[in-house]
Chains A and B, each alone.
Chain A
Amino acid sequence: MARRPEPPADEPNTDVIQGTLDLLILKTLSLGAMHGFGIARRVEQISRGVFKVNPGSLLIALQRLDRAGWVDAEWRQTENSRRAKYYTLTAAGRKQLDVETADWTRRVSAVARLLKAEG
């Protein structure tokens, strides 16, 4: 029996925090066009497996971002010559990323200050 590679036991993978998935997707796409699996894989990798992206949530989020006009979608050939739906950030998406990033930073530092004060 082949042993399955598993995520490290001391770092349980977590569903993406409610409301941050959009931000993560936008951030990921700011590096370049990507298809769904690529986005999921990249989020997992960069977060070192802390965040696990559920494909259902991902596709819904992508559809939402597409309809909001923040990303554009297009079917293209992948490097291994499969057809895949590639998402690219639009100008509006880039602006939205800035807004959400600033917002996120503000929140995180506020929470951090609170926790420090408590401690």
Chain B
Amino acid sequence: MSLWRQLTRGVHVLANQGAADQDVDDELGQYTAEAEAAWVARGLSAADARRAARLEIGSAIAIREQVRSAGWEHAVSALAGDVRHAARRLRGNPGFSCVAVITLALGIGAATAIFSAVNATLFQPLPYPEPDRIAMISDSGVDGQRLDVTFGTYRELAQRSRAFDAMAPFKPWQPTLIGDAEPERVSGERIGADFFRVLGVTPSIGRDFRAEDDRPNGPHVAILSDAFWRRRFHRDPDVVGRHVRLDDADYEIVGVMPARFEHVLAPAAEVWAPLQYQTVFGSEDREWGHHLRLIAKLRRGVSIDRARQDLNQIARAKVPEFARVPWADLQNGVLVSSLQADVTRAIAPALLAVLGAVLLVLTIACGNVANLLLARGAQRRGEFAIRAALGASRSRLVRQLLAESLLLAAIGGALGLVVAAFGVRALVALGPPELPRVGAIRLDATVFAFAVIVTTAIGVLVGAIPAMHASRADVQTALQEGSRRTAGHQRARGSLVIAEVALALVLLVSAGLLLRSVRHVFAVPVGFDPSHLLTMQVQQSGQRVGEASVNYRIYTDTIDAVRAVPGVSAAAFTALLPLSGDVDVFGVHIESHSGTKDDGAALRYAVTPGYFDVMRIPLRRGRLLDAHDGPGTPRSVVINESFAARSFRGRDAIGQRLRFGPEEGDWYTVVGIVGDIKQSSLDVDQPDEIYVPAAQWHWVDTVMSLVVRTHGDAAALTPAIRRAIWSVDKDVPIVRVATMNDLVERSVADRRFALILFEAFGAAALMLAALGIYGVLSGRVTERIREIGVRSALGASPRAIVALVVREGMALTSLGVVIGLGAAAAASRAIGTLLFGVSPVDPATYAGVVALLLTVSAIACTAPAWRAARVDPSVTLRAE
């Protein structure tokens, strides 16, 4: 087998280099001897025969080299030789090697970690078959903001549009699971029958929902997640047909989803049941409420754009068969996006910005390592000149230098993977809650390939510049002048430093703008006092939901029990907890605005008396809600000041009546105006807010949030408060426990995530740029030591010499700053969506960053300048 022989002979040569050489030498020796003998036989003397044979055969060494370089193993051993040589070189200069390897390891590690997150979230397709055929459809508000759709809209679009194979509305559902164990609230969804078909996933056990499951008063059927099936049913293979008691009803289990099913829209969902909305409904019914999300599967061959056009055409053209209500008349069109875009919308800007930042840092790190290599190249000019003079080819020298940089990069890359492994963990821990598919963020083959490619590219790029310089060197002048004149190196190194400063400036400006944004966000008044405030969600299980007054009674009893806990100063319930993600919006109709029935929409807070005191929401005018506002008294509401100013056309809001919720419902009188509070997040515009006494609302809220004002540490009281709640009703699930400060923090998590990383990267960039400046100047001083000696011999003061060095350093920095300013202005526009309350060209930030960079580079200049000033002219001149 010839391939086998190729391999074994080659390996044999590699393993016994000496023996192989000896073999060739012996053979040549014998050849020469035979040739000599032949010449002697033809009549030459021994001496002449030897000469003739040698003439005929040529140099034995050259032939040996030829024979050796013919086999494949030669390339390997040459490479090994280069690597060995490079390793020896790197070991010979441990300081340089450590700095270079650590710089690269951190750079590559950080870039790989960030890439793993970006890859999992933005680049990898969603874990469904044909993920690009899955679209999300939203209603659109006046200013184009996304709104959940109504069931009415869904029904119209599903029946009129031809662009989709299937559409499925869905909404979150949090039933209480009642079984042998303690009551548990589970996460689930009510879904249209086609939901799983849109995603392209089928249950692994049992069946999918059918159209007949999803009809009003249809069967109570449920599909479970694999996790739920394992946890509650111990992987019972015959689970289909068994029942599970959710809220107040028995649900028959019809299917179990496969373990690999990953629900990107609601990762925590464990149970699904059909939506079962009415087919005939009036405007006051929930079917016209904006509370459904809508997912759809594009017909094969139909693009998202095409589907968007189709749906918007339908939205514009009303038809009599499908009545619409004023708040869902689709006059602003509908929004269609791919599921992937929808899932990543919140996090994509931050992630991309961070990826950009880390690539900048990596570039700066490479610049620094290239710089170090150039400096070493300058020192080794003599060595290269000698090797060139001895016959080393240019390509040989280039290969040698590339071997060195590739070895550096390879070690850096290997350590970088270790850094990345930690980095990924940190990222997942640090990641904002919007980060989807956290489980998919890991070091997989793609990420590994990324690291390898980046490492190789760095090895080549970083080595190319010094290699070009070294190989271009003119042997003659280099040998004559030793290592003194290196104008070319200086120019290259100077440009690298300028680039590093420019890139560092870009990063620092972005970090500065983010820092100011986060400060601004935190400076936004939340409208209440978030300190010493504990919050938790309490849910009355379905069984007990009965008469409104009974329910309300449970809340007031709970408040009394909680108040009795030592350390608690006040407590109240609200249907909507600020900054928790709760949303409950109702259309509003103000009585004095005759003619129109649509006065916008407002958040509805059903609260128990004392809520404003607990939250410390200030009363502006009128009165607060109190215990007298009950079922038997005139219905009263309190509204926020922005709403009062905006919607009452200059008239006093107090005393006016408004209606919200059901169209023919009760009129509520505005009795007071309170300060604005932030509901969804700190950085959005002020919404309209209506506070209604929980005892006077049409329906009973079975899910309410308890807010507790405490004297000391809020979180510490959690166990005592839980016990107090369970003393009233031992079956209520208590979930979502958090201090209000946590919620405030969480609402800025994506910005903070970007900020932390930008700060770290900015600091790294600053340090690397300073190191670069220091390295270049320090090298310059060494090279110019003779000139400096002459200058000081001629009477230049130390001060003038310091100025000489510093001027050079600051010139490089300034040039970098000027270039960087332009780049920073462009880059900060790219992170525009992450900014808040600060212009992308905020002068203060730019000035501050420039000052910081100049200061740091001035500091980096001082050490070389100090060394230059202490040059003793007699020593340097004598040394010549």
Check A67/B66 contact, CB under 8 A, given A37-B35, A83-B26: no
Residues on B with beta carbons closer than 8 Å to the beta carbon of A4: 44, 48, 52
Residues on B with beta carbons closer than 8 Å to the beta carbon of A36: 27, 30-31
- The answer, among A2, A5, A54, A85, for a CB contact under 8 Å with B27, is A85
- The answer, among A5, A63, A66, A85, for a CB contact under 8 Å with B30, is A85
Report the bound CA distance from A93 to B48 in whole Å.
39
A83 near B67: Cβ-Cβ < 8 Å: no
A107 to chain B, nearest CB (A): 24
Does A12 make an interface contact (CB < 8 A)? no
Q: Which residue of A lies closest to B63 (CB)?
A: A56
Does B1 make an interface contact (CB < 8 A)? yes
Residues on A with beta carbons closer than 8 Å to the beta carbon of B28: 55, 59
Report the bound CA distance from A92 to B57 in whole Å.
31
Check A83/B30 contact, CB under 8 A, given A5-B42, A55-B58, A67-B5: yes
B70 near A2: Cβ-Cβ < 8 Å: no
B5 near A60: Cβ-Cβ < 8 Å: no
Does B38 make an interface contact (CB < 8 A)? yes
Q: Which residue of A lies closest to B70 (CB)?
A: A60
Q: How many residues of B are in contact with the other chain, CB < 8 A?
A: 32
Check A56/B62 contact, CB under 8 A, given A37-B30, A82-B33: yes
Does A24 make an interface contact (CB < 8 A)? no
A56 near B58: Cβ-Cβ < 8 Å: yes
B67 near A67: Cβ-Cβ < 8 Å: no
Does B6 make an interface contact (CB < 8 A)? yes
B1 to chain A, nearest CB (A): 7
Residues on B with beta carbons closer than 8 Å to the beta carbon of A54: 58
A109 to chain B, nearest CB (A): 29
Does A113 make an interface contact (CB < 8 A)? no
Does B9 make an interface contact (CB < 8 A)? yes
A41 near B58: Cβ-Cβ < 8 Å: no
Does A68 make an interface contact (CB < 8 A)? yes
Q: How many residues of A are in contact with the other chain, CB < 8 A?
A: 27
A66 near B9: Cβ-Cβ < 8 Å: yes
Report the bound CA distance from A82 to B33 in whole Å.
9
Residues on A with beta carbons closer than 8 Å to the beta carbon of B67: 56, 59-60, 63
Residues on B with beta carbons closer than 8 Å to the beta carbon of A75: 26
- The answer, among B1, B31, B37, B71, for a CB contact under 8 Å with A63, is B71
Q: Which residue of B lies closest to A65 (CB)?
A: B2
Does B787 make an interface contact (CB < 8 A)? no
Report the bound CA distance from A60 to B62 in whole Å.
12
Does A94 make an interface contact (CB < 8 A)? no
Residues on A with beta carbons closer than 8 Å to the beta carbon of B2: 67-69, 92
B310 to chain A, nearest CB (A): 67
B57 near A55: Cβ-Cβ < 8 Å: yes
A82 near B30: Cβ-Cβ < 8 Å: yes
B371 to chain A, nearest CB (A): 44
- The answer, among B5, B26, B45, B52, for a CB contact under 8 Å with A66, is B5
B27 near A59: Cβ-Cβ < 8 Å: yes
Residues on B with beta carbons closer than 8 Å to the beta carbon of A5: 42-43
Residues on A with beta carbons closer than 8 Å to the beta carbon of B43: 2, 5
Does B342 make an interface contact (CB < 8 A)? no
Q: Which residue of A lies closest to B59 (CB)?
A: A56
Which residues of B (23-41) have their CB < 8 Å from a CB of A? 23-24, 26-28, 30-31, 33-35, 37-38
Does A48 make an interface contact (CB < 8 A)? no
A63 near B45: Cβ-Cβ < 8 Å: no
A2 near B45: Cβ-Cβ < 8 Å: yes
Q: Which residue of B lies closest to A92 (CB)?
A: B2
Report the bound CA distance from A2 to B43 in whole Å.
8
> Besides the contacts A35-B30, A56-B66, A64-B70, what 13 more A-B pairs have beta carbons closer than 8 Å?
A2-B45, A40-B31, A56-B58, A60-B67, A66-B9, A67-B5, A69-B1, A69-B5, A82-B33, A82-B34, A83-B30, A85-B26, A92-B2
- Chain B interfacial positions (CB closer than 8 Å to A): 1-2, 5-6, 9-10, 23-24, 26-28, 30-31, 33-35, 37-38, 42-45, 48, 52, 57-58, 62-63, 66-67, 70-71
Can you list the 10 inter-chain pairs with the closest CB atoms, starting with the nearest? A37-B34, A69-B2, A56-B63, A60-B70, A56-B66, A37-B31, A68-B2, A67-B6, A84-B30, A59-B67
23 A-B contacts, Cβ less than 8 Å apart? A5-B43, A36-B27, A37-B30, A37-B31, A37-B35, A37-B38, A40-B31, A41-B38, A56-B58, A56-B63, A56-B66, A59-B67, A60-B66, A60-B70, A67-B6, A67-B71, A68-B5, A68-B6, A69-B1, A69-B2, A82-B30, A82-B33, A83-B30
